[in-house]
Structure 1
Amino acid sequence: MNNIGKLTTFHQLLIDENTIIIPKVQRDYAYGRQEDKVAEVLNDILEGILQAVKSKNTNILDFIYGGSYVRKNKIIGGLIPLDGQQRLTTLFLLHFYASLLRDEQGNIVSQEEVDILTKFRYETRQSATEFCLHLVKEIRKNLLKSYKPGINNIKELIEDDALYLSTYNSDPTILSMLNVLHKIESKCAEIDVNNLTPCLWKRLIDGDYIKFYTLSLEDFGLTDDLFIKMNARGKKLTQFEIFKSNMMADIDMVDKDLKDVFSKKMDTEWIDIVWDYTNKTLDNKRVSLDITQEADKKYSTLFNNIFRLEFYRRNLPSLDQKEPTIRNIFSDKGGIEDVIDIFNTLYKIHKNEGFDKLWFKYFYFSDSIVGRDDSIRLFWSRKRNSVFELAMLGDLTVPEIIYFYALYLLYKREASEKVSKKCLRIIHNLMTSNVRVVDARTDKLPSFLTEVKYIIDHEGIDVYYDKDEAITIDGKIHKLAFTQNAWNEEYKKQRYLDTMDYELLIKYENHNILQCSLSLFMDFCLDETTVEDYKVTEPLDAAKLLRLLVKFETVFSDEYSEYFERIRIAQLDSEIEYMQYDPYMQKDGGSSVRRYFLTTQWNLSNFYIRYGQRRNQESILQILDKMPVPAELKSPEKKCMEFSIRDWKYYLAKYPSESNRDYTRYGMGVWDNRDENPLDLIILNSSQHSENNLEWMMMTNILWNRLGNSQIYQLDDHGCSPILITSCGAAISFKNGVWFIESLVDIVSTITYKHPELIVKAQEERNVTIDLPKNENTMDYIDLGILLVRLIENKD
């Protein structure tokens, strides 16, 4: 920012400055506060911005004051806005929202383009820093799969995301951002900018419609002192010193001797943990104060995570404690001794073995599809560090707290490597199941921790869980927090497999598609001839189980994406129907049941992992069992020949990409009357079927894709709409097992004259239905559809 009064855009400012940092000493983002005056200001700003973008006019948002951040008379780098924080943050959120919208061709904005938003950093709080980064990265990827403007609520989707931590709800900046995103969502719909050409993202990035003047204060030097004076936040003590002082005072009230022990340990042994994980490099950009501040921050973060662990382990939320505080953690001698014990154990791990060595003795990360057979694979999208290091970097997630606690207990008890691996493997499998079904909530942590301790106490799971009977832990009836299906799967593995076979399963638990769940395969491999009591004595046919898992790994190898379409159509079988459904999808009888189809690679897990509400899941394993090896999978041209042209499977097999809407959320299909019209398969974009929802008649969708030119042949996405042929004002669609043509001109004579073999029936208002003769074997219904379009256009 070298030019006073330079006119620029938000996007250009990110490019020019490389980083925009909202520093710790700035106030929280305020435009999302639930106050009438604030709401009025936000509404006016958004109204002006969006109207300008829509009409391609220029809107200038006044001045942005700022400059490079300076410490100890040295420029650290990046733009630090002294005034303009609220406007810049609002523009950041608007750009993020725009990145979720598809362009006029239906394409998403690439992550590479959107990554420039990561140059906008919030450092008012650690939680705000993490949230903004997750928002632009992982959360956006999840939103692209599910968010549909006008259908979903963006605020609710973000709050439901696995990366949205419960602690974010106490950060006023994050709450304000969510409120503003919700306002942006509604305002964009109100002003109708969601479907612009060029799209909203392109207009914000490439257009110069929203500008502001930058006023450089570089010569003044934006030092900490300047910010502190302007924000009236000067303090004599650091936050960590105040934190430590408060902690010692609370311990002193309970036990003075423990206070001395605690203080001595804290200043000698325990500090070594964070000190060894602190960057101690000194250069022209990093001074001694930076090092001590980093160590203090990591130390206080580690304390906070241990306090949270104790808070939930002791189930203090049951006493109406909303968040852990020093006083309620150290309310008695036992609480102080527990924290001392955890830190002492961490110190032993750090000095004797090392956090990374212990962690990677049991766990590993990988981007491959196929799993290893020697360790436990973690399916994290976060930083791939040990959980101990993560505990110094920010708030641990629920799964991370679980692994932290489990490793602490096992190390403290000096459990053998064999026992530790077994317990961690079981705990990991259970936790992964809860994450998968979005049930790893903070309020379940007390029960999770109780069950982790039970598993370690018993060196595994030694009881089958029945929700009507529950289990007894420490003399109390306990309701399971881990998913019942996963718990009982682990029970079966230990009870009905010998040690060698049990160890062989870890490779398949580590498969990227199966992700710790083999329950569907195990149920498929029950030896029913010897089953007496299904719940208790259900022996597994281990040889069959392992053979089927080997087959699964052969099909879904590291290279399976190269031939995924052939795998997908290989699921189509003349005798076995692989489609799955749930009991809530039944409408008016069997023919109206909505079924899940395999549409994309990312929903493979939904078919091969056991879900309590899915029916007909075993059928896909029957098909897998008889499926050819990858090299022998049939091409679409050959696979379709297994079916009649009047069988819907023929068209899914012959036209795998054209028949598929791979961005549909659920991958569902439905028939209104399958018995009478088996070809009338409707592709759903959601779990609902109605003329107002996004849905396509499969045959119409295939024809539209085969015709190719979306300018001439237009297909609306709602309610199984027909293809509009704009060149001649006609429409064609498939319904009731035949092609249906709507036209302003009489085309019956043309069709009957040129192709008398076709079955043509005139309807009202010059509408026509056309069918193939029963003995037709030279063309299929898509060939017929193309022929009819050419006849309508008078090109045949």
Structure 2
Amino acid sequence: MSYNPTSKKLTFLQLLSNDSNVCKQCNNLEWQPHSKIEIPIIQRDYAQGRESKEELRKNFLNSLFEATNGKSLELDFVYGSLKDNVFQPLDGQQRLTTLFLLHWFVAVKEDKLDNELRKLLTKFTYETRTSSREFCQDLINKGIDFKNLIETDYLDKEKTKPKNNELSKTITNSYWFYLSWKKDPTIKSMLNMLDSIYHTFKDTKEVWDKLNNISFHYIELQNFGLSDDLYIKMNARGKPLTDFENFKAKFEQHITKESWESNAEATESFSHQIDTLWTDLFWNYRDKTENIFDEQLLNFFRTMAVINYTLKADKSKSDVFRTNIDLLTNNSKKVSFNQYLELGCFDDDYFKTLKFVLNKISDKSGLKTFLFDTTYVNEVEIFNGVIKNDLSYPDLVIAFAYYQYLALEEDIEIEKLTSWLRIVRNLVEGSRPYLFNNANDFANALRSINELLQHRNSIVDHFADTQINSLSGFISEQFIEEKLKAKLITQNDDWKNAIIEIENHRYFKGQIGFILDWCKDENGIHNIDKFKAYSEKSNAVFSNEGLNKFDNFLFERALLATGDYLLSKGKNLSFLINNERDISWKRLLRDNNQKREILKQLFDKVSTLNLTNDLQKIIDEFSDKNDWRYYFIKHHEMITVCGKEKLIRKNSDFDILLLKTTQTNGEHRTYYSYSLFLELNNPNLIYHHQNSTNECKYFEINGIQIAFNSNSKKFFWTENKDWVNTHEFDDRDSALSFIKELCKTN
């Protein structure tokens, strides 16, 4: 025989009652008497008052507050079963507990808590813990003096950030409150909720009767005990809703409120797509242990919110803007739905873009991609970055350019998409080492790309024709380079193919202004044959990671023999590394100055077929011993000891330090003493580096120390580290002869 329970619409006080009057109020539906309402052991602790549930608590109390202003509120179903004449809620524990606390608060505040009401409220109790049950009883029967609440605590010593805990502090300071109760999670949550109720309802008047505007549908499951099996089958809220489930419900309500889908087909609606097509996509990126993808979906929404907020926010309020961007991009900080709304992240543009993009990239088998390779955008890496919310500022700009294009185009033409992304890649990668250091740089770049989107399907023509020479968010050198390349590309396919081939070199990533500058003839006209020749040499010299690995710093030494190409970083100079803002090869290639001209001179001296021999020949032919560069060129070990960043400190031609680290309080040697040490090439010599400029750097043999004096510009020797009584050599050759004799006697 089947049992179909019937619902009754009740208020909280009606649920607590069990007399014949309730029967009349419930349209004469059958009523099963009960002596009390008890939250059973199987239920989890009261959670709505947890500190982590501030947004849920705020939203629920706001709804209750509106109901006390005359608006009726129905709180869905409350159902459960009778056990020994005690009603045990199967679903509705959280709502019922909050209503219990609200009724107690209003009754105390409005002086309604007489003996009859006390008896009624004490019918609501907890079976989960003795402490929870006793707290509820004492709260009702012993209570507090509401008119004399204890002053609030403060979060900081200056008493500027109140905890707003007048009510809970008064309760916990009451004679009847046991300190051990603070360890009860349900009581802790109740105290938090009471503080929230107090600050929501403290200024209201004559609310008691208006609490009847709040109701729910009561279902009593007759002839059922509250077994574990029944709980598992029936209690959809036995396990808390996940963050995404809460977010999804609120977002769907917001869609309805804003009428964003008033004319949408049911099968194309947000609710349908997120439960079908989009789920198929994100299922492939789920947590395989838990088989959930909530975090990934939430992060997709969050990343799109970062972009929309950046496009729309008032950047003139820079401090506020940076704080909000930090909140949105920082995975360690949760963003509530209300915060998204307060920041203006969600609007019609956001919603349309979100739907269009997810529809375009979603596929049952995984992520749907459009490009043939990853030259301009790695679609898989971008998506992974989005669902982890860990994209850097430049990568966020690329993601925006890609996804926004998909959103704007009904049918994707791969050639036009590729052309668009090529320009974006070049602008971003050319500027990446120098900009994107803060939220303002990111916002400038994002908004510039947004402006360029109107030219997305004719982007090369736009760059060829534009009269402007800069674009906010990107370095001017790269923008001007893109204009020049666009003009050459539109001339003929020969230029187009040659430019695209070399700019897709993985180290250059679009930055080939140096080749464009070098390939001009005497009249300033760009020569395609010279362009191809310099491109070929560039491929021979640079790998995907940077400078090719030439043995013994062969390339650096040959380049130094051609001229002083070293770049500065603070007080130091570097022989250059592959990736760094100030001292990288990319920086040398970018800046159109004398330093880059030295590289061109070297390129003009070598051939790709005989590159190593040509470099060695340049080194061998350098003969000026009076030039400070000489020993760097002749002894590769001089560069070896300069550390990862290949740094030196050149105070003058005669005062040069070889730095192992970035500062002189780290290991370092002096240029002339170490070069002499290397030139002697004797295993009996021991070199002593130092970690202070005040300490002498020297090498020694047989108790004799040899060093170099940068002030007198001469070598000297001493015994037993007597740096006061020293003996200077006339010149380097004299020092060499002296030391060689010492070595013979060793």
Structure 2 length-normalised TM: 0.55
Q: Secondary structure at the match of 1:732?
A: strand
**What amino acid is aligned across from residue 618 of structure 1 in structure 2?**
E
Structure 1 residues 462-481: aligned runs within 5 Å: 462=462, 480-481=472-473
Q: 1:440 to 1:495 in 2, by over 3 A?
A: farther
Match of 1:551 in 2: 537
* Cα offsets for 1:495-515 (capped at 9, x unmatched): 234342133223322334323
Residues 599 and 660 in structure 1, CA contact (< 8 A), matched pair in contact too: no
* Cα offsets for 1:240-292 (capped at 9, x unmatched): 2222233344444433855998997333223433433425999xx95xxx22x
**What amino acid is aligned across from residue 496 of structure 1 in structure 2?**
L
C-alpha separation in 1, matches of 2:420 and 2:258? 36
Shift of 1:616: 2.5
* Cα offsets for 1:152-183 (capped at 9, x unmatched): xxxxxxxxxxxxxxxxxxxxxxxxxxxxxxxx
Match of 1:427 in 2: 424
Structure 1 residues 355-366: aligned runs within 5 Å: 358=369, 360-361=371-372, 363-364=373-374
Identical residues among aligned pairs (%): 14
Q: Does 1:513 align with 2:507?
A: yes
Match of 1:310 among 302, 308, 311: 308
C-alpha separation in 1, matches of 2:239 and 2:395? 34
**What amino acid is aligned across from residue 245 of structure 2 in structure 1?**
E
C-alpha separation in 2, matches of 1:436 and 1:444? 12
Residues 299 and 388 in structure 2, CA contact (< 8 A), matched pair in contact too: yes
Q: Secondary structure at the match of 2:600?
A: helix
CA-based RMSD = 4.8
C-alpha separation in 1, matches of 2:188 and 2:640? 57
Residues 361 and 368 in structure 2, CA contact (< 8 A), matched pair in contact too: no
Residues 669 and 684 in structure 1, CA contact (< 8 A), matched pair in contact too: yes
Residues 568 and 599 in structure 1, CA contact (< 8 A), matched pair in contact too: no
Structure 1 residues 521-540: aligned runs within 5 Å: 521-527=515-521, 529=523, 539-540=525-526
Shift of 1:493: 0.6
Q: 1:765 to 1:529 in 2, by over 3 A?
A: same
**What amino acid is aligned across from residue 638 of structure 2 in structure 1?**
E
* Cα offsets for 1:510-533 (capped at 9, x unmatched): 334323211222223334525xxx
C-alpha separation in 2, matches of 1:426 and 1:227? 60
Q: Secondary structure at the match of 2:387?
A: coil
Match of 1:275 among 270, 273, 280: 280
Match of 2:636 among 656, 665, 683: 656
Q: 1:629 to 1:489 in 2, by over 3 A?
A: same
C-alpha separation in 1, matches of 2:279 and 2:677? 61
Structure 1 residues 204-603: aligned runs within 5 Å: 236-255=240-259, 265-271=269-275, 272-279=277-284, 286=289, 290-291=290-291, 294-315=292-313, 320=320, 322=324, 323=327, 326-327=337-338, 335-351=346-362, 358=369, 360-361=371-372, 363-364=373-374, 375-376=375-376, 385-411=380-406, 412-413=408-409, 414=411, 416-458=413-455, 459-460=458-459, 462=462, 480-497=472-489, 498-500=491-493, 501-527=495-521, 529=523, 539-556=525-542, 560-563=548-551, 565-573=553-561, 576-581=562-567, 596-598=574-576
Match of 1:714 in 2: 688
Shift of 1:623: 1.1
Residues 443 and 473 in structure 2, CA contact (< 8 A), matched pair in contact too: no
* Cα offsets for 1:693-746 (capped at 9, x unmatched): 865432223344566879943121443842153751534236468652231389
Q: Secondary structure at the match of 1:237?
A: coil
Residues 581 and 596 in structure 1, CA contact (< 8 A), matched pair in contact too: yes
C-alpha separation in 1, matches of 2:578 and 2:636? 11
Shift of 1:642: 3.2
Q: 1:697 to 1:771 in 2, by over 3 A?
A: same
Residues 714 and 726 in structure 1, CA contact (< 8 A), matched pair in contact too: no
Q: Secondary structure at the match of 2:638?
A: coil
Note the residue ranges of structure 2 that are not aligned, 5 or more in a row: 1-49, 53-182, 193-237, 329-334
Q: Secondary structure at the match of 2:716?
A: strand
Q: Secondary structure at the match of 1:529?
A: coil
Q: 1:454 to 1:544 in 2, by over 3 A?
A: farther
Q: Does 1:765 align with 2:739?
A: no
Q: Secondary structure at the match of 1:376?
A: coil
Residues 514 and 609 in structure 1, CA contact (< 8 A), matched pair in contact too: no
C-alpha separation in 2, matches of 1:329 and 1:261? 27
C-alpha separation in 2, matches of 1:687 and 1:615? 25
Q: Secondary structure at the match of 1:426?
A: helix
Residues 703 and 720 in structure 2, CA contact (< 8 A), matched pair in contact too: no
Shift of 1:435: 1.8
C-alpha separation in 2, matches of 1:415 and 1:631? 47
**What amino acid is aligned across from residue 617 of structure 1 in structure 2?**
R
C-alpha separation in 2, matches of 1:718 and 1:710? 25
* Cα offsets for 1:591-633 (capped at 9, x unmatched): xxx7543477986524542137x65322211211212436452
Shift of 1:424: 0.5
Q: 1:311 to 1:349 in 2, by over 3 A?
A: same
Structure 1 residues 774-789: aligned runs within 5 Å: 788-789=738-739
Residues 570 and 627 in structure 1, CA contact (< 8 A), matched pair in contact too: no
Residues 742 and 766 in structure 1, CA contact (< 8 A), matched pair in contact too: yes
Shift of 1:448: 1.9
Shift of 1:651: 1.9
**What amino acid is aligned across from residue 348 of structure 2 in structure 1?**
E
C-alpha separation in 1, matches of 2:709 and 2:306? 59
Q: 1:644 to 1:666 in 2, by over 3 A?
A: closer
Residues 731 and 743 in structure 1, CA contact (< 8 A), matched pair in contact too: yes
Residues 669 and 682 in structure 1, CA contact (< 8 A), matched pair in contact too: yes
Q: 1:314 to 1:730 in 2, by over 3 A?
A: same
Q: 1:401 to 1:333 in 2, by over 3 A?
A: closer
Residues 574 and 646 in structure 2, CA contact (< 8 A), matched pair in contact too: yes
Q: 1:509 to 1:240 in 2, by over 3 A?
A: same
Residues 599 and 662 in structure 1, CA contact (< 8 A), matched pair in contact too: no
C-alpha separation in 1, matches of 2:432 and 2:721? 59
**What amino acid is aligned across from residue 529 of structure 1 in structure 2?**
N
- The total of aligned residue pairs comes to 492
Q: Secondary structure at the match of 2:415?
A: helix
Shift of 1:470: 7.4
C-alpha separation in 2, matches of 1:646 and 1:640? 16
C-alpha separation in 1, matches of 2:551 and 2:404? 45
Shift of 1:358: 2.6
Larger radius of gyration: 2
Structure 1 residues 15-26: aligned runs within 5 Å: none
C-alpha separation in 2, matches of 1:262 and 1:704? 83
Residues 355 and 386 in structure 1, CA contact (< 8 A), matched pair in contact too: no
Shift of 1:416: 2.7
Match of 1:71 in 2: none
C-alpha separation in 2, matches of 1:242 and 1:710? 75
* Cα offsets for 1:549-569 (capped at 9, x unmatched): 111112335793154622222
**What amino acid is aligned across from residue 433 of structure 2 in structure 1?**
R
Residues 463 and 486 in structure 2, CA contact (< 8 A), matched pair in contact too: no
**What amino acid is aligned across from residue 304 of structure 1 in structure 2?**
R
**What amino acid is aligned across from residue 301 of structure 1 in structure 2?**
N
Residues 355 and 389 in structure 1, CA contact (< 8 A), matched pair in contact too: no
Structure 1 length-normalised TM: 0.52
C-alpha separation in 1, matches of 2:377 and 2:520? 27
Q: 1:277 to 1:353 in 2, by over 3 A?
A: closer
Q: 1:643 to 1:301 in 2, by over 3 A?
A: same
**What amino acid is aligned across from residue 558 of structure 2 in structure 1?**
A
* Cα offsets for 1:24-70 (capped at 9, x unmatched): xx999xxxxxxxxxxxxxxxxxxxxxxxxxxxxxxxxxxxxxxxxxx
